Amino acid sequence: MAPVVLDLRETDDSRDVVHRAVQALAEGNVVAFPTETVYALAASALCDDAVGRLMDILPSSATAAATPAALAIKSADEALDYVPNLCSLGQRLARRCWPGPVTLLVEDHHPESVIKQLAPGVQQAIAPQGIVGLRVPAHRALQDVLRLLAGPVVLLDAHCSGDVDAVTAREVIETWDRQVQFVIDGGRCRFGQTSSVVRVENAGFEVVRQGVVSPQTIKRLASMIILFVCTGNTCRSPMAEGMFRQLVAQKLGCRPDEVEDRGVIVMSAGIAAMMGGRPSAESVAVMNEMGIDISAHESQPLTEQLARHADLMITMTRSHRQAILAEWPEAADRVFPLCEGGQDIADPVGGPTELYRRCAEKISAELEHWLNKLPH
Distance of alpha carbon 287 from alpha carbon 238, whole angstroms = 10
Which residues contact residue 339 at a Cβ distance below 8 angstroms, ignoring those fewer than 6 apart?
Answer: 345, 366
Pick the last residue of a domain from 168, 184, 218: 218
Distance of alpha carbon 252 from alpha carbon 263, whole angstroms = 10
CATH code, domain carrying 94: 3.90.870.10
Q: Mark whether 49 and 183 lie in a shared domain.
A: yes
- Contact by Cβ (8 Å): 193, 165: yes
User: What is the arithmetic mean of pLDDT over 12-31?
Assistant: 96
Global pTM value: 0.86
Supply the pLDDT for residue 129: 87
The total of structural domains in the chain comes to 2
Q: Pairing relation of β-strands 102-107 and 131-135?
A: antiparallel
Q: Mark whether 180 and 278 lie in a shared domain.
A: no
240 or 64, greater pLDDT:
240
Give the sign of the dihedral formed by CA 149, CA 155, CA 157, CA 160: negative
Tell me the pLDDT tens digit for each residue of 53-72.
Answer: 999 886 544 444 445 689 99
User: What is the arithmetic mean of pLDDT over 77-82?
Assistant: 94
Q: Mark whether 214 and 289 lie in a shared domain.
A: no
Q: Which member of 47, 87, 230, 235 is catalytic? A: 230
344 is catalytic: no
Q: Mark whether 296 and 188 lie in a shared domain.
A: no
66 or 7, greater pLDDT:
7
Q: Which member of 96, 236, 245, 321 is catalytic? A: 236
Tell me the pLDDT tens digit for each residue of 181-222.
Answer: 999 999 999 999 999 999 998 879 999 999 999 999 999 999
For the beta sheet containing 31-33, the strands, ordered from the edge strand earlier in sequence to the opposite edge, are: 4-7, 182-185, 31-33, 40-44, 153-157, 70-72, 131-135, 102-107, 196-201, 204-209
**Looking at the predicted structure, is the pLDDT value of residue 298 above 90?**
yes
Assign residue 5 a region: left if phi > 0, alpha if psi is -120 to 50, beta otherwise?
beta
Q: Which of 130, 45, 114, 123 is nearest to 81 (CA)?
A: 114
Q: Pairing relation of β-strands 224-230 and 312-315?
A: parallel
Q: Which member of 77, 344, 347, 357 is catalytic? A: 347
Range of the structural domain that residue 284 is part of: 223-373
Q: Give strand ranges (E) for the chain.
A: 4-7, 31-33, 40-44, 70-72, 102-107, 131-135, 153-157, 182-185, 196-201, 204-209, 224-230, 264-270, 312-315, 335-337
**Looking at the predicted structure, is the pLDDT value of residue 292 above 70?**
yes
308 is catalytic: no
- Contact by Cβ (8 Å): 231, 269: no
Q: Mark whether 202 and 233 lie in a shared domain.
A: no
Tell me the pLDDT tens digit for each residue of 258-291.
Answer: 999 999 999 999 999 999 999 999 999 999 999 9
Q: What is the chain's mean pLDDT, rounded?
A: 93
- The band of 367, judged by pLDDT with boundaries at 50, 70 and 90, is very high
Distance of alpha carbon 210 from alpha carbon 296, whole angstroms = 35
CATH code, domain carrying 248: 3.40.50.2300
- The band of 373, judged by pLDDT with boundaries at 50, 70 and 90, is confident
Q: Mark whether 53 and 134 lie in a shared domain.
A: yes
Supply the pLDDT for residue 52: 94
R_g over Cα of the chain = 24
Please count the CA atoms within 13 angstroms of the CA of 32 that sit on its side-chain side. 35
Asked if the peptide bond before residue 279 counts as cis, ω within 30 degrees of 0, the response is no
Distance of alpha carbon 142 from alpha carbon 292, whole angstroms = 49
Q: Mark whether 251 and 121 lie in a shared domain.
A: no
Distance of alpha carbon 261 from alpha carbon 219, whole angstroms = 9
**Looking at the predicted structure, is the pLDDT value of residue 118 above 60?**
yes
- Contact by Cβ (8 Å): 126, 120: no
Where b means 16+ CB within 10 Å and e means fewer, 152-181 reads bbbbbbbbbeeeebbbbbebbbebbeebbb
Supply the pLDDT for residue 58: 66
107 or 64, greater pLDDT:
107
Q: Mark whether 150 and 259 lie in a shared domain.
A: no
Supply the pLDDT for residue 152: 97
253 or 128, greater pLDDT:
253
User: What is the arithmetic mean of pLDDT over 151-175?
Assistant: 90
230 is catalytic: yes
Distance of alpha carbon 305 from alpha carbon 286, whole angstroms = 31
- The band of 38, judged by pLDDT with boundaries at 50, 70 and 90, is very high
Tell me the pLDDT tens digit for each residue of 243-265.
Answer: 999 999 999 999 999 999 999 99
Pick the last residue of a domain from 169, 189, 218: 218
Supply the pLDDT for residue 59: 52
Q: Mark whether 177 and 41 lie in a shared domain.
A: yes
Q: Mark whether 155 and 32 lie in a shared domain.
A: yes
Q: Mark whether 324 and 185 lie in a shared domain.
A: no
**Looking at the predicted structure, is the pLDDT value of residue 108 above 60?**
yes
Which residues contact residue 179 at a Cβ distance below 8 angstroms, ignoring those fewer than 6 apart?
Answer: 30, 41, 53, 56, 57
Pick the last residue of a domain from 201, 218, 235: 218
**Looking at the predicted structure, is the pLDDT value of residue 116 above 50?**
yes
- First CA to last CA across the chain, in angstroms? 53
User: What is the arithmetic mean of pLDDT over 71-100?
Assistant: 95
Distance of alpha carbon 165 from alpha carbon 35, whole angstroms = 12
Q: Mark whether 210 and 294 lie in a shared domain.
A: no
Distance of alpha carbon 163 from alpha carbon 42, whole angstroms = 18
